[in-house]
Amino acid sequence: MMQTSVSVGVDLGGTSIRIGVYDVGLELLGSHSMPTRVAAGPQEVVEEIAAAIAKLLRDHPGTRPIGVGIGSPGPINLQTGVLGLLPNFPGWDNFPLRDALQEATGLPVTIESDANAAALAEWKSCSDKTSGLQSMAMITLGTGVGSGLILDGKVWHGMFGMGGEVGHATVDPHGLPCACGSRGCLEMYASANGVIRLACAVAASEQGSTALRQVVNRPGGFMPLEIAQLAEHSDAASILVFQRMGFYLGVGIANLISTLDLPMIVVGGGMARAWDLFAPAMFDAVHNFSVVYRLVEPRQRILQELNSTFIRPATIGPSAGLLGAGMLPFLADEIQSHPALPILEEKFL
Amino acid sequence: MMQTSVSVGVDLGGTSIRIGVYDVGLELLGSHSMPTRVAAGPQEVVEEIAAAIAKLLRDHPGTRPIGVGIGSPGPINLQTGVLGLLPNFPGWDNFPLRDALQEATGLPVTIESDANAAALAEWKSCSDKTSGLQSMAMITLGTGVGSGLILDGKVWHGMFGMGGEVGHATVDPHGLPCACGSRGCLEMYASANGVIRLACAVAASEQGSTALRQVVNRPGGFMPLEIAQLAEHSDAASILVFQRMGFYLGVGIANLISTLDLPMIVVGGGMARAWDLFAPAMFDAVHNFSVVYRLVEPRQRILQELNSTFIRPATIGPSAGLLGAGMLPFLADEIQSHPALPILEEKFL
């Protein structure tokens, strides 16, 4: 029997793990989802993943796995595949995820940050007309703010595989202290937690509305979606929340464009569903804070003719991270793998 | 007679033009300097440059020029070699500098922004021990703030050749309006004009000293060097000026590191001579505003063993731009030349 080459993608999240089997055309042949038992420790979870992969492959006879791609929360050393200090994974620090999964599955494993994997998926899924695109950034607005950069046709890893932490670039040096230890990080304003924070601030201010205060002050907390619903029903205070979020997101994107003159910025993650609420303020801020954007803005018209824009919402949705992970085993050239300074790596590792 | 291959470098500044003839070992064989007659218009100046090049080459018989490299103020379209809107060059807008110089000299011309040329020179001049370095940024603190990026072994041009305008990334969204039309640009704080502005603000505040006020309020203006001299003589108000400058420069560098995880940032330009005055506040801000920097900071020790650091002053000095321009004709692979999106370029150009 002819065997079909497939790849296995693993999207390791703080809440759940998704596993997908893809053929070379990146069709999803089968998938499996399970909760992430963080407290059980990384070795146990790796063995669960390996067992789930084995079962998925047994369920698809005639397939030959060429490798496993895993998208992992960052920070992570992409050269060694060792996890950094992950706030949502207590006890997982410095775990050699890539090697452990390789050992457990007996398959070659390629590791990427989850944000890079999602960026890869969005990039490779560009329409035919924009498929010549060599560079882009993806910003993922979730609980936090992640980012992935594709530069000159390759996923950008940076010096030690930590490149592209746009969520922790500062958008206001006099702003709120961030859990990362910095101040005024984009993540403090443009993430789900950021929207919750902005909603509380607006509710407590003169500009707060009764409706917003009711949601914000309800015991047991609230979801950003509820603020979005109020905004969609024309609650001025809730609209202001998303305008502020859009302002800071726009400052962050403006800095990215000023620094790199990128042709495309894709905004994904759960909070991107509020696009219509924050996008006008975001575009205003990008225009107001980036002379590079203003200079290249006329070309926006051409992108629009191609049914695209410089700055656009993600098209793939929540499965981007899984799809990107599934792509990894098929891609070798598109993964930046050189160390920035070989002598440094030798000495440090 | 054997002919020696040489390159010609041209550093086009707002005040003066410097021309150098280099051999393949990048030894400067001869040079010429002349004022930039901006008001005479670009075509006339190009012809002056061509005449000066011809004379320099006649003065060095036995040399065979392989091409001209020119470092030009930005913004500039590096794909077409056409100038953008240059604030210090009224009437030069949209001048096809590369083609005009090619026509006037009869030699192939390679064009780069002056900041990219300087970055190239600093990068290629890394010590033997750090010469494996594939990526870095150079920030030039002059009248304004320029920047050049080397990413993965190539000068980064960005989508339309405007990549690397770090001087116009925002370090404070509630900050001072910049001449570029944005607000809180790094250039407003870390340039010579920025230091003058910060000195005026400190002098006018409660923290102003008599000595600082005397300099600042003197009719006819003052130079940043005078504030540096006061600071070196322990004037607390003048020390504060450079601390503020260092703070904002540090925020800008922190954002660059958070975004790209770069292994080296070189700070050049005239204001870099005040390194000892602003560097402590700059390093504090980089540490405080970039979690990526904090995570990779331990590797700083290894760089120090190599007599280098993550963030260091330029080593070449004011001739970096000329040297970088002189390198251009010898380099082909190190210049990023692909358009970010071919279909866009076709349609727009």
Q: Does A132 touch chain B (CB under 8 A)?
A: yes
Is A152 within 8 Å of chain B by CB? yes
Give the residue-averaged pLDDT of A18-28.
Answer: 95
Say if B127 is an interface residue toward chain A (CB within 8 Å): no
Mean pLDDT in runs of 10 for chain B (349 residues)?
89 93 94 96 97 97 95 82 83 94 96 91 78 86 91 83 85 94 96 96 97 95 95 98 98 95 90 96 96 80 68 88 94 62 50
pLDDT at position A148: 93
Torsion, Cα of B314, B317, B319, B322 (10° steps): 10
**Are B168 and A247 an interchain contact pair (Cβ–Cβ within 8 Å)?**
no
Q: Kindly tell me if the per-residue pLDDT of A177 is higher than 80.
A: yes
A306 has a pLDDT exceeding 80? no
How many CB pairs lie under 8 A apart between chains A and B? Answer: 223
Q: Which residue has the higher pLDDT, A165 or B334?
A: A165
Residues of B in contact with A82 (CB under 8 A): none
| Beta-carbon count within 10 A of B348 CB | 16
* A130 → chain B, closest CA residue: B341
**What sign for the dihedral angle of Cα B188, B285, A196, A271?**
positive
Beta pairing partners, A18:
A11, A33
Residues 71-100, chain B, touching A (beta carbon < 8 A): 75, 84-85
Alpha helices in chain A (DSSP H): 42-58, 97-105, 114-124, 187-190, 192-204, 210-216, 224-232, 236-260, 275-289, 291-296, 300-305, 320-327, 342-348
Chain A nearest-CA residue for B347? A302
- The dihedral built from the CA positions of residue A50, A56, A59 and A61, taken in this order, carries a sign that is negative
CB A334 within 8 A of CB A120: yes
Contact B230, B211 (CB under 8 A): yes
Residues B208 and B217: their CA atoms lie apart, in Å, by: 12
Of all residues in chain A, the one with the smallest CA distance to B298 is A348
Asked if the Cβ–Cβ distance from B288 to A166 is below 8 Å, we say no
> A300 — contact with chain B (CB < 8 Å)?
no
Identify the structural domains of chain B with CATH numbers, from first to last: 4-114+326-348 (3.30.420.40), 126-315 (3.30.420.40)
Of A149, A173, A342, the CB nearest to B251: A173
- Whether chain B has a CB inside 8 Å of the CB on A309: the answer is no
d(CA B129, CA B125): 11
Reduced DSSP (H G I as helix, E B as strand, rest coil) percent helix, strand, coil of chain A, to 5: 45, 20, 35
Q: Do B258 and A159 touch (CB under 8 A)?
A: no
What is the distance in angstroms between the Cα of A186 and the nearest Cα belonging to chain B? Answer: 11
Question: Among A51-60, A101-110, A153-162, A163-172, which stretch is predicted with the lowest mean pLDDT?
Answer: A153-162
B193: which 2 tokens?
């004009």
- Residues of A whose CB is below 8 A from B129: 343
pLDDT attached to residue B246: 98
pLDDT band at A215 (very low <50, low <70, confident <90, very high): very high
Query: Which residues, in sequence order, are bridge partners of residue B335?
Result: B155
CA distances from B66 to B106, B222, B332 (A): 11, 44, 12
Q: Tell which of B78, B139, B304, B344 to mutate to test the A interface (max A CBs under 10 Å).
A: B344
Question: What's the rounded Cα separation, in Å, for the pair A116 and B140?
Answer: 31
Query: Which one of A85, A289, A305 has the shortest CB-CB distance to B170?
Result: A289
In the sheet with B311-313, reading across from the earlier edge strand, the strands are: B154-155, B145-151, B136-141, B265-268, B311-313
| B151 Cβ under 8 Å from any chain A Cβ | yes
DSSP three-state, residue A301 = helix
Q: How confident is the model at residue A349 (pLDDT cuts 50, 70, 90)?
A: very low
Which residue type, as a one-letter code, is found at position B6? Answer: V
Rounded Cα gap, residues B48 and A92, in angstroms: 66
Whether residue B285 contacts residue B250, with contact meaning beta carbons closer than 8 Å, is answered with yes
Among residues A120, A42, A174, A125, the alpha carbon closest in space to that of A336 is found at A120
Strands of B187-248 (E only): list them: none
Q: Are A275 and A313 in contact (CB under 8 A)?
A: yes
Cβ-based contacts of A298 with chain B (< 8 Å): 348
Instruction: Give B 251-270 residues with CB within 8 A of chain A.
Output: 251, 254-256, 258-264
Name the residue facing A296 among B156, B162, B338 (closest C-beta): B162
Give B158's contacts in chain A (Cβ within 8 Å).
Answer: 135, 260-262, 292
How far is B329 from B321, CA to CA, in rounded Å?
14
Taking the Cβ of residue A296 and every Cβ of chain B, the question of whether any pair is shorter than 8 Å is answered with: yes
To which residue do tokens 């902005």 refer?
A: A198
Length of chain A (residues): 349
A142: helix, strand or coil: coil
Nearest Cα to A113, choosing from A75, A149, A154?
A: A75
Q: How far is CA B243 from CA B192, B210, B231, B238, in A?
A: 14, 19, 10, 9
Determine whether the interchain pair B340/A164 forms a contact, defined as Cβ–Cβ distance below 8 Å: no
Torsion of CA B253, A336, A16, A22, to 10 degrees: 150
CB contact under 8 A, B152 and A303: no
What residue type is assigned to position B237 of the chain? A
B220-238 CB burial, b ≥16 within 10 A, e <16: eebebebbbebbeeebebb
Q: Which residue type is seen at A349? A: L
- Alpha carbons A182 and A173: distance in angstroms, whole number: 9
Residue B24 CA neighbour count, 13 Å, CB half: 6
Of A170, A289, A344, the CB nearest to B299: A344
Q: Running DSSP on this structure, what letter comes out for residue A170? A: B
Q: Is A295 on the interface with B (CB under 8 A)?
A: yes
Residues A123, A70: Cα–Cα separation, whole Å? 17
In this complex, do B289 and A163 lie within 8 Å of one another by their Cβ atoms?
A: no
- With an 8 Å Cβ cutoff, are B132 and A247 in contact? no
Q: Taking CB atoms and an 8 Å cutoff, what residues of chain B touch A134?
A: 338, 340-341
> Across the interface, do B261 and A158 touch by the CB < 8 Å criterion?
yes
Statement: residue A214 has pLDDT above 70:
yes
Residues of A in contact with B151 (CB under 8 A): 151-152, 156
Cβ of A135 under 8 Å from any chain B Cβ?
yes
What was the pLDDT predicted at B207? Answer: 97
Cα atoms in the Cβ-side hemisphere of radius 13 Å centred on B288: 20
Who's near A157: CB < 8 A, 6+ residues apart?
A: A78, A79, A116, A163, A336, A337, B261
The answer, yes or no, to whether residue A141 has pLDDT greater than 90, is yes
According to DSSP, residue A141 is labeled: E
Given a cut of 80, whether residue A132 has pLDDT beyond it is no
How far A25 CA sits from the closest chain B CA (Å)? 24
Cβ pair A347:B302 closer than 8 A: yes
Q: CA–CA separation, B87 vs A297, rounded Å?
A: 19
C-beta atoms of B292 and A263 within 8 A: no
* Percent of chain A scoring above 70 in pLDDT: 89
Q: How far is CA B9 from CA A216, A249, B29, B113, in A?
A: 63, 41, 11, 13
**B133 lies within 8 A of chain A by CB:** yes
Chain A contacts in chain B segment 47-76 (CB below 8 A): 75
pLDDT for B348: 46
Query: Which one has a higher pLDDT value, A334 or A275?
Result: A275
B201 in contact with A at a CB cutoff of 8 Å?
A: no
User: A-chain residues within 8 Å CB-CB of B133?
Assistant: 340-341
- What phi, psi does A336 have (nearest 5°)? -70, 125
The angle at the Cα of B70, spanning B67 to B73, to the nearest 5 degrees, equals 170
Q: Name every residue whose Cβ is closer than 8 Å to that of residue B94 and which is 6 or more positions away in sequence.
A: B82, B83, B84
User: pTM score, two decimals?
Assistant: 0.91
